[in-house]
Amino acid sequence: MIDIRNTLIIDIETASISGSYNDLDERLKKQWDRKAVFLKNEDQLPTDELFFERAGIFAEFGKVICIAAGLFVKTKSGEMGLRIKAYTGKNEKDILTGIKDLINNKLDSEKLILCAHNGKDFDFPYLCRRYLVNEIEIPKALQISGKKPWEINHIDTMEMWRFGDRRNYSSLDLMASIFGIDSSKKDLDGSMVNKVYYEDKDIKQIEAYCKQDVYVTANLFLKLNLMPVIKESNITFV
């Protein structure tokens, strides 16, 4: 039985490393050009537009602009609640350092379980790569090199739903629909983040969206464990 008191729900939002392909140095431009050849481009977007649309999902060409983390807590009435904190800012290094401090110094990193939707294929490896790019030691809970699968305290709600079927990809929004959980995609979705970040310059909207994703993921995690969901009134933002 999973001890949800030691489970940290996380979600990250990412953007392209720069707001324009033309701002890249020549070496990175060449590397992106090589990468772009292998990307699906049904709309036949030119290289610069494809960079703006797609670069943020690759740790080599993107950066972390927001991390939200949610911890299960008991409310005064004895009900299950969720305490959510977001780390944002203009400096990726500060964002990464902030969540690292939470994981290493404010929680029991030995017992801590990290949970995210598609976390094993996206959030966790993306974070590890960006820590190294920023010359920061990877937080203890994300250090998985050399560990056996059963020694890694990571939960992926997408993996829980797959039941071994690696061909299956179910978005968080789809899973929320199936289980009757309110969607986090009402005003914003992942494909819009780069525009909101660089053109609208509205990091607060991105932060709110990231926090809502954590709430949805937490309730999906509970649903997949046949547990009652958390009421919106029992969410605390810190």
List, for residues 146-161, the tens digit of each pLDDT value: 888 878 899 999 999 9
Calpha distance 127→129 (Å, rounded): 5
Q: Where are the alpha helices (DSSP H) in the chain?
A: 26-36, 47-54, 92-101, 124-133, 157-162, 172-178, 193-198, 203-224
- Give the pLDDT confidence score for residue 38 in this predicted structure: 84
HSE (CB half, 13 Å, CA atoms) of 193? 24
More confident residue, 45 or 94: 94
Please state whether beta strands 80-88 and 62-74 pair in parallel, antiparallel, or not at all (unpaired): antiparallel
- Give the pLDDT confidence score for residue 37 in this predicted structure: 86
Among residues 136, 133, 135, 125, the alpha carbon closest in space to that of 99 is found at 136
Question: pTM of the full predicted structure?
Answer: 0.94
- The predicted model gives 90-105 an average pLDDT of 96
Distance (Å) of CA 9 to CA 41, 99, 132: 33, 12, 22
Is 50 within 8 Å of 39 (Cβ atoms)?
Answer: yes
- The predicted model gives 77-87 an average pLDDT of 95
- Give the pLDDT confidence score for residue 182 in this predicted structure: 87
Is 96 within 8 Å of 136 (Cβ atoms)?
Answer: yes
Read off the pLDDT band of 175 (50, 70, 90).
Answer: very high
- The predicted model gives 136-144 an average pLDDT of 94
Residue 22 scores a pLDDT above 90? yes
Among residues 94, 93, 95, the alpha carbon closest in space to that of 11 is found at 95
Average pLDDT for the chain: 92
Calpha distance 114→12 (Å, rounded): 13
- Give the pLDDT confidence score for residue 112 in this predicted structure: 94
Give me the sign of the Cα torsion angle 231, 103, 143, 66. positive
- Give the pLDDT confidence score for residue 35 in this predicted structure: 92
To 5 degrees, how large is the angle CA 104–CA 222–CA 13? 55
Please state whether beta strands 154-156 and 113-116 pair in parallel, antiparallel, or not at all (unpaired): parallel
Residue 27 scores a pLDDT above 90? yes
Residue 8 scores a pLDDT above 90? yes
% of the chain at pLDDT higher than 70: 98
Q: Which two tokens stand for residue 119?
A: 């976390």
Residue 186 scores a pLDDT above 80? no
Point out the least confidently predicted range of 34-43, 53-62, 214-223: 34-43
User: What structural domains does the chain harbor?
Assistant: 4-17+61-237 (3.30.420.10)
Calpha distance 85→63 (Å, rounded): 19
To 5 degrees, how large is the angle CA 40–CA 44–CA 45? 95
Residue 184 scores a pLDDT above 70? no
Residue 41 scores a pLDDT above 90? no
Look up tokens 């494909």; give the residue: 191
Read off the pLDDT band of 1 (50, 70, 90).
Answer: low
